[in-house]
Structure 1
């Protein structure tokens, strides 16, 4: 039997898998011809059959009945893993939910390989949970257990930015000092590493990896800040009610701005509370929009509109976001400047983590030859401006933004599980 291993990039927003077959690495089509799949699940009622990726998103936005979930990776290591959630009236734990998604990806890889793959390198952020080593270790243990449940016998992990570096290395002549900037949906991770195509078959890369850092800020946080700044005020965020002009509760708005928390909002208690406050609201028109979102359970549609605005504002100066699912003719025009102001603190924290990585590596900004950008959030205009400012002398590599981690993890699996020396990379 052919020795085949794989690398799985389970991302907050998108996921991918690549296989190493006789030293040849290739990405696996995981949804029709696509080599990436949105990390999304839709459970239909009655039998709780699961649908994944773009199919799940389409079912949800076609207003089919069922339970939709995204950003499941952010649950790893948190208390939510123990508590679980209600799916179409039945309690389901998050380990089972994540297992179903990753099993779907493994089955795609097994089909392409023509056999069951038992060896995997799983990607992981530098920190699943910031400043909490116990939660971080718990998250990796949970992911290990899930990998075992879907049939893997040999499991290892690699930091996602290091995997992204491996994916680019095959094209690098001579030695270059690189920093990998990996901005995903849930985390931003950095690695300073020495790269060369002469190092492709080095078994031990410890001496080449100079430092890695990370912070739990990513594209989902950009969505949240944009939503709170430009969208939620039009739903009554920070408005007041009653004779004492008290501020309305802010938690529902914050939860509506996070993919992993939206589903917990549609409770009779919160809807009743919102109705009661609406009677005393000083801005009934806007606050009623919040009630409509809760009653009709359109929080994910609201978040999708924020995400769409973020993507649009990465390429253009203004975007008109439509919210006619809340109210006929309701739209908000958002300028890039407002978006960039909303995420300024997050971008500064991301840049600070990159600078910390340089300090730990003992190198200067000017010493970096190559900046490898991976992850969809590197498309954001202010992020690009910041990293070009930080590394004015470096070349920028940004191909395969959404799939380079999966490729690199498969490359790493080749070393860790002993298949023949690498012969090429299918991109």
Structure 2
């Protein structure tokens, strides 16, 4: 039997599965003919049958009855992994939920390979959880246990930006000093690494990897900031109520702007409290929209509108976002300038983390020959400008933004197991 190894890029937003067979690395189709799949799952009521990726998203937006979940990677290393959640009335552990998602991808990859795959390199961010080494170790251990649960026998891990570097190294001529900028949905990670054809295939590349840094900021945080600055004010965010002109609680709005927290808002207590604030509200029209979103459980639709607006403002200066699921004819005009203002602090922190990576590596910005951009959020113009300012003389490589990590992990599996 041919030794086939693989790499899995389990991302906050998207997931890919790449195979190495006889030194040839390819991406496996994981949803019909697609080689990436949204990291989404929908448990349909009443029997909790799971659906995945685009199909899960379609079922949810078609308003089928069930529980929709995204950004599951952000739960790793947090107390939620132990506490679990209730899915259509049934208590469920998040390790089971994540394993359910990854198992179906492994089954498709096994079928594509024509045999069961037992060796995997799993991608991981530099930090699953910022400034908490214990939680970071727990997150990797939880992901390893999930990989074992779905049938892998040999499991290794690699930092996602290093994997992206391996994917690009196949096209490098000579030797280049590169920085990898990997902006995912949940984290931004950076690696300074020496790339060359001569070093390709070495099982141990530690001497070529000069530094790694990471920060728990990603595309989902951009969605959240855009939502809080442009959308939530139209749902009563920072409006007041009562004789003392008190500000309505902000927590529901912040939870409504995060994929991993939306479902926890649909409780009788939260809805009843919102009704009480609405009774005393000084802006009943806008706060009434919040109550409607909570009562009809359309928070994910609202978040999808924020994500779609972010993508639209990547290419356009102005975008009219439709929210007619809240009320007929309701839309919000968004400006790229407002979006950029809302995420500027996050982009500055991302750029600071990249600069820290240079400091840790002991190199100056002008020594960098190649900037490798990976992850969908690197398309945001403010992000692009930040890295062109940091590295004005470097070559920019941004091919395969959504699949380079998966490909690089498969190359790494060849080096480690092949």
Assess if the C-alpha contact under 8 Å between 2:7 and 2:409 holds in 1: yes
In 2: Cα distance, 1:406 partner to 1:36 partner: 9
Give the deviation of 1:107 after TM superposition.
0.8
Give the deviation of 1:109 after TM superposition.
1.1
In structure 2, the residue matched to 1:6 is: 6
> When the two structures are aligned, how many residues end up with a matched partner?
418
In structure 1, the residue matched to 2:80 is: 80
In 1: Cα distance, 2:37 partner to 2:56 partner: 10
Superposed CA deviations along residues 278-308 of structure 1, whole A, max 9, x for unmatched, are 0100000000000000000000000000000
Assess if the C-alpha contact under 8 Å between 2:126 and 2:214 holds in 1: yes
In structure 2, the residue matched to 1:286 is: 286
In structure 2, the residue matched to 1:258 is: 258
Structure 2 residue matching 1:95: 3-state secondary structure:
helix
In structure 2, the residue matched to 1:194 is: 194
Structure 2 residue 334 is the aligned partner of structure 1 residue 350: no
Q: Which runs of 5+ in 2 are unaligned?
A: none
Structure 2 residue matching 1:185: 3-state secondary structure:
coil
Superposition pairs of residues 18-29 of structure 1, within 5 angstroms: 18-29=18-29
In structure 1, the residue matched to 2:330 is: 330
Superposition pairs of residues 2-401 of structure 1, within 5 angstroms: 2-401=2-401
In 1: Cα distance, 2:17 partner to 2:135 partner: 26
In 2: Cα distance, 1:127 partner to 1:82 partner: 20
Give the deviation of 1:199 after TM superposition.
1.8
Superposition pairs of residues 405-424 of structure 1, within 5 angstroms: 405-417=405-417, 419=418
Structure 1 residue matching 2:182: 3-state secondary structure:
strand
Give the deviation of 1:22 after TM superposition.
1.1
In 2: Cα distance, 1:163 partner to 1:271 partner: 45
Assess if the C-alpha contact under 8 Å between 2:46 and 2:66 holds in 1: no
Question: Which TM-score applies when normalising by structure 1?
Answer: 0.97
Superposed CA deviations along residues 110-163 of structure 1, whole A, max 9, x for unmatched, are 111111111100000000000000000000000000000000010000000000
Give the deviation of 1:238 after TM superposition.
0.3
Structure 2 residue matching 1:199: 3-state secondary structure:
coil
Structure 2 residue matching 1:271: 3-state secondary structure:
helix
Superposed CA deviations along residues 154-188 of structure 1, whole A, max 9, x for unmatched, are 00000000000000001000000000000000000
Give the deviation of 1:203 after TM superposition.
2.2
Give the deviation of 1:339 after TM superposition.
0.3
In structure 2, the residue matched to 1:423 is: none
Superposed CA deviations along residues 55-90 of structure 1, whole A, max 9, x for unmatched, are 000000011111100000000000000111111111
In 1: Cα distance, 2:115 partner to 2:238 partner: 56
Give the deviation of 1:196 after TM superposition.
1.2
In 1: Cα distance, 2:82 partner to 2:381 partner: 38
Structure 2 residue matching 1:392: 3-state secondary structure:
coil
Assess if the C-alpha contact under 8 Å between 2:163 and 2:405 holds in 1: yes
In 2: Cα distance, 1:239 partner to 1:285 partner: 11
Structure 2 residue matching 1:393: 3-state secondary structure:
coil
Assess if the C-alpha contact under 8 Å between 2:121 and 2:410 holds in 1: yes
Give the deviation of 1:12 after TM superposition.
0.0
Structure 1 outlier segments of 4+, above 4 Å: none
In structure 2, the residue matched to 1:422 is: none
Give the deviation of 1:333 after TM superposition.
0.3
